[in-house]
Structure 1
Amino acid sequence: MPLWQELPLLLIVAFCLAVLIRTFLVQAFFIPSGSMEETLLVGDRVLVNKVLYDVREPQRGEIVVFEGPPNWAPENQIDKDAGFFAELGRTVGDLVGFSQPGEKDFIKRVIGLPGDTVACCDVQGRVTVNGYPLDESSYVYEDSPLDATPNPRQCTARRFDPVKVEPGQMFVMGDHRGVSQDSRCQGQVPIDNVIGRAFVILWPSSRWGWLSVPETFKNVPKNAAAPAAPGPRITRAPQIPLTPDFFVAPLAASAMVSTRSARQQRLRRRRW
């Protein structure tokens, strides 16, 4: 095929591959707020594994992306008065990963699983899970004050009454406890709302690193009323506009390189 025909075809193939990767395998998520500082900063991009939780449930200490329940207040505001072309651009961006996350997209750390009892605080001001105090010094940033009065609508206080995590739910909290609005005041999150696990900081390059599970969670005892292991989970359709903006450019560049290589090979054959 001539170059002017081959190049658009390869770009279309690259676009389709990017959409497939975004939909079923891995996506990049843009951090819109400071609720996970200093683990994740505003503007960071993290890769999210979408396949992992189709074969197992989330684990304590993992950082997950999920769709917020209806009662959760949005962290990321979207301009609803944007014009037609802005909406069209956002829709196209959702397909290939160049848009901002939606209003109901959240990223938090899993603290409690079904059957767990989560509370705060022990005599040293620490969060406990099934009576075990968590050592959160490695990831918690600007914890809420101990002497603040608990508010059921605002997570402004460190103390909260013991919460028994219900079946099919999880208890999540942000690492920046002073500003994070999470399960302390907004309630538990259905596990089925989870989109995937954030496992690496992809951008900026100076902050590249793995998002591992802190050691303290490995010592949490199992709860006495832990439910039986569920069966295989049904694969969910994508629910939030995550952003795989690092897949399209490399694929497009690869397509251009392949086109040039094929062109050079044809020229060599003609010379012979």
Structure 2
Amino acid sequence: MTAEHAGSRRRKRSGGFLRGMREILIILAIAIVVSFVIRTFFFRAFLIPSGSMENTLQVNDRIFVNLMIDSEDQLKRGDVVVFEDHQGWLPPAESDPNPFLQALEFVGLYPSTSEQHLVKRIIGMPGDHVTVDDQTQQVVINGEAIDEPYLAPGSAASDIDFDVTVPEGQLWVLGDHRDASGDSRAHMDGPNDGFVNIDHVVGRAEVVAWPLDRWGPAGSADEPFEEVPEP
């Protein structure tokens, strides 16, 4: 083999390697763009940091949230929703110092770990009168006591008394682990009387994606509210 032929083969191998790397980079760029579009307009992943929604959602569950369901006419009682904390329910967030994970989270390839989002269940929609039965401790909506099969075992519907009428554009939200949930009841003395502005809802939790043995629906349930009359 002549030196010229050897050089030609090396150039071909080098050219093939560069073409392969270019194709990989193009595929990676497309994946990042698609993921960013999905994260921005359709679905977003979140990490569950606490046990306030047990046993429906457990600590370190990864969930996918439907960003297209976030307005009053799309939401309903029983939906599990993620919303932004604009009322100071949570302490200030500590940013993750890992820039790589921050970049992956930004484009949607890593679940959001932001402590400025909360996940709760909608109990009261605008206009609903929501209270607690003194004897049974059941939640009562517009005069109808509801059974809540999603509650954490041993957790009463509410051991905190409240009697509210949900204002227009607001929601009354509770965690499924009522004994360990800093929900609307815990913030009745706050700046918004414990209500959550619908405009702050990010979307409805749809799927538990991780761990794999918990793959399935994220717990929204409208059946317990079917007999509730409109306000």
- TM-score normalised by the chain length of structure 2: 0.81
Is residue 2:221 matched to residue 1:220? Answer: no
Q: Cα deviation per residue 1:55-112 (whole Å; 9 max; x = unaligned)?
A: 83310000000002223234xx7445x6xxx253353132133254222210000000
For 1:123, what is the secondary structure of its paired residue?
coil
**Are the equivalent residues in 1 in contact too, given 2:80–2:204 (CA < 8 A)?**
yes
**Are the equivalent residues in 1 in contact too, given 2:137–2:156 (CA < 8 A)?**
no
Q: 1:119 Cα shift?
A: 0.6
For 1:219, what is the secondary structure of its paired residue?
coil
Given the superposition, is the C-alpha separation of residues 122 and 220 from structure 1 closer, same or farther in structure 2, using an over 3 Å criterion? farther
**Are the equivalent residues in 2 in contact too, given 1:121–1:159 (CA < 8 A)?**
no
Give me the whole-angstrom Cα distance separating, in 2, the residues matched to 1:124 and 1:55: 30
Q: 1:5 Cα shift?
A: 1.6
Identity percentage of aligned residues: 40
Letter in 1 for 2:142: N
Matches within 5 A, 1:132-211: 132-136=144-148, 138-141=149-152, 142-143=154-155, 158-186=159-187, 187-210=194-217, 211=219
Is residue 2:125 matched to residue 1:117? Answer: no
Query: Of the candidates 103, 113, 118, which is equivalent to residue 101 of structure 1?
Result: 113
**Are the equivalent residues in 2 in contact too, given 1:44–1:201 (CA < 8 A)?**
yes
Query: Of the candidates 86, 95, 107, which is equivalent to residue 69 of structure 1?
Result: 86
Stretches of structure 2 that go unaligned for 5 or more consecutive residues are 1-17, 188-193
Is residue 2:61 matched to residue 1:44? Answer: yes
Give me the whole-angstrom Cα distance separating, in 2, the residues matched to 1:177 and 1:192: 25
Moved more, 5-14 or 107-116: 5-14
Q: 1:50 Cα shift?
A: 0.6
Moved more, 39-48 or 93-102: 93-102
Is residue 2:142 matched to residue 1:127? Answer: no
Give me the whole-angstrom Cα distance separating, in 2, the residues matched to 1:176 and 1:133: 19
Give me the whole-angstrom Cα distance separating, in 2, the residues matched to 1:117 and 1:22: 35
Whichever of the two has the greater Rg, that structure is 2
For 1:53, what is the secondary structure of its paired residue?
coil
For 1:118, what is the secondary structure of its paired residue?
strand
Letter in 2 for 1:88: P
Letter in 1 for 2:139: V
Give me the whole-angstrom Cα distance separating, in 2, the residues matched to 1:120 and 1:100: 34
For 2:36, what is the secondary structure of its paired residue?
helix
Q: 1:10 Cα shift?
A: 1.4
Q: 1:123 Cα shift?
A: 2.6
Give me the whole-angstrom Cα distance separating, in 1, the residues matched to 2:212 and 2:144: 36
Matches within 5 A, 1:69-88: 69-74=86-91, 78-79=93-94, 86=97, 88=99
- TM-score normalised by the chain length of structure 1: 0.69
Letter in 1 for 2:216: G
Say how many residue pairs are matched: 205
Give me the whole-angstrom Cα distance separating, in 2, the residues matched to 1:218 and 1:15: 42
For 2:147, what is the secondary structure of its paired residue?
coil
Give me the whole-angstrom Cα distance separating, in 1, the residues matched to 2:84 and 2:94: 19
Stretches of structure 1 that go unaligned for 5 or more consecutive residues are 146-156, 224-272
Letter in 2 for 1:219: E
Letter in 2 for 1:170: L
For 2:76, what is the secondary structure of its paired residue?
coil
